[in-house]
Amino acid sequence: MAVLEVKNLTHTYSGNTPFINDAVSRVSFSAEKGEIIGIIGHTGSGKSTLVQHLNGLLKPTEGEIFVDGANIWDNPKEIRKIRSKVGLVFQYPEYQLFEETVYADIAFGPKNMGLEGDELKKRVLETCELIGVKGEYLEKSPFDLSGGEKRRVAIAGVMAMRPEVIVFDEPTAGLDPGGRENVMKIIHDYRAATGATVIIISHSMEDMALLADRLLVMNKGRLEMFDTTENVFKNGGRLREIGLNVPIVTQVFYELKKSGVPVPDDVFTVSRAVEALKAIKAGEKYA
């Protein structure tokens, strides 16, 4: 059974605002336990609006969202409970830090869920260990950390609620390569340890190629494609039409194909590219 299911989700913002229209129209998709889904689409395509529905921050104008088979809006008074099942990490999450210590900040989410005493402490420490927040940081003020460390602590704050589905809105935005790698590792480790479903909004096709099992492509508030990463990237022409692209290495392979080199059309990472070319060089089928 799908852990998360979105049916015919439509969200229109009231009034005609001059802002970037971020509405969503008739989007349906479902996510299986443990898979990684990437959401791509240019700014204003409805990505952010879509993910804010998954934990009930926004209420759909039409359509339903099911978590573990239950409609999350069946009982609007209980909507807060969904937030611990579906965790949402916003862009630049370090701006949400507020407690005096790193420990207290990470404990904020689990505490809101009703955890206390030893159970709470255990949960916070486990989370820290899981994603590598060092013990000596726990009593520090979160405001004294570096940018990358702050981001890690902020993400830990959501992970400490142990969501079954965790959604990231551009988790690596504004970080340098080292910081980006770190965040990717945290996400990977969390999934490996908990078996959670991960949904990531990203602009980096290269990262998506490495990470995502399936890709959900948004365009002008509608779901353009929802398929395996491979099948989506094979559709490079359509992606370009809606202002997106394929990974750079795939672009190189298009050029090779155009020039008559018999390359496979499922090359999205550098490692796969090297393998493919090695095979061709070894004389297989190259005329």
Partner 1 sequence: MDSIISVRNVTYEYKEDETVYAAVRNLSLEIERGSFTVILGHNGSGKSTLAKMLNGLNKPTSGDVLVDGINTRDEKTEIEIKRKVGMVFQNPDNQIIASIVEEDVAFGPENLGIAPAEIRLRVDEALKAVDMYEFKNSTPHHLSGGQKQRIAIAGIIAMESECLVLDEPTAMLDPKGRAEIIDTLHRLNREKGITVVLITHYMEEAENADRVIVMNDGGIIADALPEIIFSDVEMLKSVGLDVPQTAELLYRLKKIGFAVDTHALSVSGAAGEIIKALNSEEK
Partner 2 sequence: MLKDITFGQYYDSRSLLHRTDPRLKIFLLILLIVFIFIANNAFSLGFGTLSVISVMLVSKIPFKLYLKNMKAILPVLIFTGVINLFYGSGEELLSIWRLSITTGGVYRAVFMAVRITLLIFLSSALTYTTTPNDLTDAIESLLSPLKFIGLKSAVHTLAMMMTIALRFIPTLIEEAEKIMNAQKARGADLENGRLTERVKALIPILIPLLVSSVRRAYELAEAMECRCYNGGEGRTRMKQMRMAAGDYGVLAAALIICGGITALNILL
Are the CB atoms for 31 and 165 separated by under 8 Å?
yes
Report the interface residues with partner 1, using CB under 8 A.
18-20, 42-43, 146-148, 173-179, 203, 206, 243, 247-249, 251-252, 255-256, 259, 261, 270, 273-274, 277-278, 280-281, 286
Structure tokens belonging to residue 65: 């969202």
Query: Positive or negative, the Cα torsion across 194, 197, 199, 200?
Result: positive
CB nearer to partner 2: pick between 14 and 259: 14
Q: How far apart are the first and last CA of the chain?
A: 48
Angle in degrees, CA 70, 76, 79, rounded to 5 = 70
174 binds, among partner 2, partner 1, none (CB under 5 to 8 A by kind): partner 1
The kind and range of the H/E element at 4 are strand 4-11
Q: How far is the CB of 98 from partner 1 (least distance, A)?
A: 20
Which among 51, 53, 67 is positioned nearest to 1, based on CA atoms?
Answer: 67
| Whole-angstrom distance, CA of residue 148 vs CA of residue 125 | 20
Q: For helices 270-281 and 248-258, give the axis angle rounded to 10 degrees.
A: 30
Residue ranges in 154-173 that form contacts with partner 2 under rule CB under 8 A: 157-158, 161
90 binds, among partner 2, partner 1, none (CB under 5 to 8 A by kind): partner 2
E-assigned strands of 126-221? 165-169, 197-201, 214-219
CB nearer to partner 2: pick between 143 and 286: 143
Q: How far is the CB of 93 from partner 2 (least distance, A)?
A: 7
Among 70, 143, 240, 271, the residue binding partner 2 under the rule CB under 8 A is: 143
CB nearer to partner 1: pick between 104 and 256: 256
Residue ranges in 51-80 that form contacts with partner 2 under rule CB under 8 A: 52, 55, 57, 80
> Which residue ranges make up the site for partner 2 (CB under 8 A)?
15, 17, 19, 52, 55, 57, 80, 83-84, 87-90, 93, 95-98, 108-109, 112-113, 143, 157-158, 161
